[in-house]
Amino acid sequence: MSAMTSYSAAWVPKHDDTDWEDAAALAIAWVTAQGREQGRTPLLVTNGQGAESSVPALVTFGSRYGRTTPRSARVDGNRPVLAYVPDTRTLDFAAGKAHGSSLCVVEGFGLELAGWARDSGAVDLTGRSSAPQALDPRLTEALDRLEFHGNNGWTRGFGQDQARRILADLHSARLLDRSVIVGAMLARGSSTKAVQRLEQLIDGAGT
């Protein structure tokens, strides 16, 4: 469990030759082991009902332990969660269910997770990712400042104004890394709406 998150984290990063059955197997093994160690029942979280249907092992996992989506009926949290190819909303939801426990994420084609993995201290279950390079100190400082000014979700007003200045400075310094910024804020507990608002600010930076 990193200083940034309320859960222990692991991930299966997407590669050009990713086999989704193999990716699911790695995630299932880790989450199942976490469940045994903690004495808690795992949970499968997907973007929508049936999103796991093309991966038989995930269907079995979900049937055995439980499955849910951000739109499904409420389920208990504080349990090891396997989030399969989540979008921003689903990752936020999964993190909430994993509070005080563990979260493993299988990266898909939409949401890049390298920034989340870095800030959450996620273990790469494929063993293929090299140790992350240290961030430029200016970017590290900017992430902390963005988090500080995001207590109102970067809504209109002082917090958003400060975020615009921070992002403009990063753009000028050629340090405006969208995936790192978005992932870091997700790892630090920013809500879906807040992150979506921040993404709009990132898109507008430098204009």
Give pLDDT, residue 163. Answer: 95
- Quick one: tokens of 45? 């979280």
Cα–Cα distance measured from residue 184 to residue 150, given in angstroms and rounded to the nearest whole number: 12
How many beta carbons lie within 10 A of that of residue 137, not counting itself? 8
Cα–Cα distance measured from residue 122 to residue 105, given in angstroms and rounded to the nearest whole number: 9
Q: How confident is the model at residue 83 (pLDDT cuts 50, 70, 90)?
A: very high
Rounded to the nearest 10°, the torsion over CA 7, 200, 44, 107 is: -90
> What is the chain's alpha carbon radius of gyration, rounded to the nearest angstrom?
17
- What lies within 8 Å, CB to CB, of 18 at 6+ separation is none
Three-state secondary structure readout of 112-176: CCHHHHHHHCCEECCCCCCCCCCCCHHHHHHHHHHHHCCCCCCCCCHHHHHHHHHHHHHHHCCCC
**Sign of the CA dihedral 200, 202, 203, 207?**
positive
Say if pTM beats, i.e. exceeds, 0.75. yes
- Provide mean pLDDT across the span 150-154: 90
- Provide mean pLDDT across the span 142-150: 94
Give pLDDT, residue 151. Answer: 86
Q: How confident is the model at residue 168 (pLDDT cuts 50, 70, 90)?
A: very high
Cα–Cα distance measured from residue 52 to residue 54, given in angstroms and rounded to the nearest whole number: 6
E strand or H helix at 104:
strand 102-106
Cα–Cα distance measured from residue 97 to residue 107, given in angstroms and rounded to the nearest whole number: 18
pLDDT above 80: residue 39: yes
pLDDT above 90: residue 21: yes
* Maximal C-alpha separation, the chain: 52
pLDDT above 70: residue 130: no
pLDDT above 70: residue 182: yes
Cα 180 to Cα 80, 158, 202: the distances in Å are 25, 23, 12
